[in-house]
A and B are shown apart, each in its own frame.
Chain A
């Protein structure tokens, strides 16, 4: 059996060399150098908590991770996995499109949830919706929707079939008129009479607080307080 292992590992090493066109060092050796860096970082007296926190910034999905992994060897494989096994799970940022669930499926399941929660006796909450430049307002029942996605799609349907919804990486949402490119920012008036940007608070909170909705032209929306102030 040992002979078989030796034979396969020879074959594997050959294939490995064939597959690496620009190998600067074989995979096995890089593990050695990285292991020694583990010892040095431990010796340097880095606080365990600090290391864990530093590593969470470098976890996959973070913008910093890409540069960190390819340019430096400090965040090594051995480090990462052993520390991850022991450190408490860090909260990870939500990313667009992960887990990969088709938007059709997400919407369908949200619709189903909305249908069933509505069946649990919430009374309708109709609010006026105004669009800058449109001659008349509409009303929507906030209870019909289970989330911001559905609300935006409904607004899209009510006002303009050529609105498209553009979402940005930091969860900002805008409606864009595909015909003339005008951007609209969805805003709402809350119970205190303040005009807020749609999308900051959880949906349920929004549903309770919202009194009316206005799709503001992008040029006017600069007067709304920036997110960080909230």
Chain B
């Protein structure tokens, strides 16, 4: 084998940026393992309990960017009790000791306290980017410490997090006379915002490209902000509904016309329909439009607006756009790559949103579609078969029919054939989420055809253990399996005994597994954490049904911070 000096390997690996490629490179030989470890700048930890933070820093001493994910995804839907864990504290502690030069920290579904943010702010003077997605546990006080101490902060993104409101002062804490801010997203913040502080902040942030405001920012303030930041690329509007701000509209319209770089728009909240002209001014440039938090827009306004956005690549919208609206999307937005339809009212069981017609229309018109999230009231096999034929490039397909267990609306059959066609035709499918009445057959199709599948979410589906067994035996690339309310028992669980170490995690809730089955799995595979979440009191005998099970591979052994309702087996 030709001899490469370390510097050459290092140089070559410098061009390799993707995590997976780097992981593969590190397996080539010891030399490459060592050099890759020393040169990796960006580390992605998909499960905070899979490895101890100290170990990460020991292997990657030069890391500059750390991404950590915490709770299982079903925590988003209230299936994981509060206090489950995923505290960011150990990660921040370890990083502060080992790597004070940290530049980027991204956390998803983790608990971040103000104390933690304080620790962060004082430990990482070079911090450029802090992204907290769907996190909780902190308040505006914590934000104030970050703003005050991280003088070089370029990005602060609180997407979807729960932030306790303790005052408006945090916005004034950013550095003066100018900041390095390029991206600021506080759209999720409940609570008032000081208009003066915001205007002053935008005025002294010359590099600001992305700004997402919360509902407390009125029209007049928005107009002023846009005037002082005409180079904005991404805007999340605040609230533009208050009638006493109607006088600010003309200045808003003229301000937005100056924003010639604006290509991404979101927000709107309770904006009434007379705000839609601001979209019309920039619709030629728009590539991303998120109207999924704008339930007040009428269907006709949605249609009129979207019709003009011919360059849209990403569209998120509520289901009251209707099938008619989706037909307009199909004829106007030919560049569309990603479409997400959300239910306008998640509490209504039989909503009158979109149906299979809209889905078929979009699949025929938007041939570049590769990612779909579709919340609808009904679906048919033939529609899914048509979608499969039209959009074979789909990599992510999530279908949520609002009534669980719905059959084919025309034939009354289960939706096995439809989803079967999807997995058969979309060879690159990596993510699938299914709903409707589904038998073991659909799992057979998935096992047979979905070779690239990495994430599968299943609810209220299947007839017997065979379903889960087909998937475990067939999908070699499966990383995350999330199952709820399916009749899979211990046999199915144990059939995957030797698969789980190759996967990131398995979630099963409201299935037919018992404590005995989970104990067998735990005994057979010491490299897995088998955790049972149970809030009811009761005996701990083997026959007891397990309400929630979370299994994941780990190098860190059982958790030491598990709350009382989580039992490690």
| A residues whose Cβ falls under 8 Å from a Cβ of B | 12, 15-16, 18-23, 27, 59-61, 65-67, 69-70, 77, 80-82, 84-86, 92, 94-106, 108-109, 111-113, 115-116, 119, 157, 161, 164-167, 178
A45 → chain B, closest Cβ, in Å? 24
User: Quick one: closest B residue to A165, CB to CB?
Assistant: B82
Contact of A112 among B295, B346, B375, B402 (CB under 8 A): B295
Complex Cα distance A66/B486, Å?
A: 7
> Given A22-B491, A27-B440, A96–B77 Cβ distance below 8 Å?
yes
Contact in complex: B469, A21 (CB < 8 Å): yes
Give every chain A residue within 8 A of B162 (Cβ-Cβ).
104
Give the size range of B's interface with the partner: 35 or more
Q: A60-B405, A104-B162 are in contact. List 12 more A-B contacts (CB 8 A).
A: A19-B448, A19-B473, A22-B491, A59-B405, A70-B512, A81-B437, A95-B404, A95-B485, A108-B293, A115-B241, A116-B296, A166-B81
| B residues whose Cβ falls under 8 Å from a Cβ of A | 74, 76-79, 81-83, 134, 139, 160, 162, 164-165, 188, 190, 215, 239, 241, 269-270, 292-293, 295-296, 342-347, 349, 375, 400-405, 407, 411-414, 433, 435, 437, 439-441, 444, 447-448, 457, 459-461, 463-466, 469-470, 473-474, 484-487, 489, 491, 495, 510-512
User: Quick one: closest B residue to A103, CB to CB?
Assistant: B78
Contact in complex: A99, B400 (CB < 8 Å): yes
Contact in complex: B489, A19 (CB < 8 Å): no
Contact in complex: B407, A157 (CB < 8 Å): no
User: Quick one: closest B residue to A75, CB to CB?
Assistant: B463
B185 → chain A, closest Cβ, in Å? 13
Complex Cα distance A21/B82, Å?
A: 38
Contact in complex: B188, A100 (CB < 8 Å): no
B7 → chain A, closest Cβ, in Å? 47
Contact of B407 among A22, A85, A95, A98 (CB under 8 A): A85
Give every chain B residue within 8 A of A81 (Cβ-Cβ).
407, 412-414, 437
Give every chain A residue within 8 A of B74 (Cβ-Cβ).
97
**What would be 13 A-B contacts, judged by CB atoms less than 8 Å apart?**
A27-B440, A66-B485, A69-B464, A81-B412, A84-B407, A85-B412, A99-B375, A100-B433, A102-B76, A109-B346, A112-B269, A115-B241, A115-B269
Give every chain B residue within 8 A of A115 (Cβ-Cβ).
215, 239, 241, 269-270
A106 → chain B, closest Cβ, in Å? 5
Complex Cα distance A94/B348, Å?
A: 10
Chain A facing B: main interface SS: helix
A117 → chain B, closest Cβ, in Å? 10
Complex Cα distance A105/B447, Å?
A: 33
Contact in complex: B495, A21 (CB < 8 Å): yes
Contact in complex: A77, B463 (CB < 8 Å): yes
Contact in complex: B414, A109 (CB < 8 Å): no
Contact in complex: B474, A19 (CB < 8 Å): yes
User: Quick one: closest A residue to B242, CB to CB?
Assistant: A119
Give every chain A residue within 8 A of B413 (Cβ-Cβ).
81
Give every chain A residue within 8 A of B473 (Cβ-Cβ).
18-21
Contact in complex: B414, A77 (CB < 8 Å): yes
Contact of A111 among B78, B190, B403 (CB under 8 A): B190
Complex Cα distance A105/B77, Å?
A: 10
Give every chain A residue within 8 A of B405 (Cβ-Cβ).
59-61, 92
B211 → chain A, closest Cβ, in Å? 18
> Given A81-B414, A99-B402, A165-B82, A70–B447 Cβ distance below 8 Å?
no
Contact of A102 among B77, B474, B486 (CB under 8 A): B77
Complex Cα distance A67/B239, Å?
A: 50
Contact in complex: A77, B439 (CB < 8 Å): yes
Give every chain A residue within 8 A of B190 (Cβ-Cβ).
111
Contact of B77 among A84, A101, A113 (CB under 8 A): A101
User: Quick one: closest A residue to B76, CB to CB?
Assistant: A102
Complex Cα distance A111/B454, Å?
A: 35
Contact in complex: A116, B160 (CB < 8 Å): no
Contact in complex: B404, A98 (CB < 8 Å): yes
Contact in complex: B79, A66 (CB < 8 Å): no
Contact in complex: B160, A60 (CB < 8 Å): no
> Given A23-B466, A60-B461, A112–B83 Cβ distance below 8 Å?
no
> Given A70-B464, A103-B78, A115-B269, A65–B241 Cβ distance below 8 Å?
no
User: Quick one: closest B residue to A115, CB to CB?
Assistant: B270
User: Quick one: closest B residue to A24, CB to CB?
Assistant: B466
Contact in complex: B460, A60 (CB < 8 Å): yes
Give every chain B residue within 8 A of A111 (Cβ-Cβ).
190, 215
> Given A60-B404, A81-B414, A92-B403, A116–B375 Cβ distance below 8 Å?
no
Complex Cα distance A150/B346, Å?
A: 15
A91 → chain B, closest Cβ, in Å? 8
Contact of A85 among B139, B402, B411 (CB under 8 A): B411
Complex Cα distance A157/B140, Å?
A: 13
Nearest 10 A/B pairs, CB to CB? A85-B412, A97-B77, A60-B460, A60-B405, A101-B346, A164-B82, A102-B76, A69-B487, A66-B487, A104-B160
A137 → chain B, closest Cβ, in Å? 21
Complex Cα distance A95/B469, Å?
A: 26
Give every chain B residue within 8 A of A109 (Cβ-Cβ).
293, 295, 344-346
User: Quick one: closest B residue to A156, CB to CB?
Assistant: B164
A160 → chain B, closest Cβ, in Å? 12
Complex Cα distance A161/B190, Å?
A: 15
> Given A16-B444, A109-B295, A70–B400 Cβ distance below 8 Å?
no
Contact in complex: A103, B295 (CB < 8 Å): no
Complex Cα distance A57/B27, Å?
A: 53
Complex Cα distance A115/B141, Å?
A: 26
Contact of A164 among B83, B346, B512 (CB under 8 A): B83
Contact of A116 among B241, B460, B512 (CB under 8 A): B241
Complex Cα distance A106/B241, Å?
A: 20
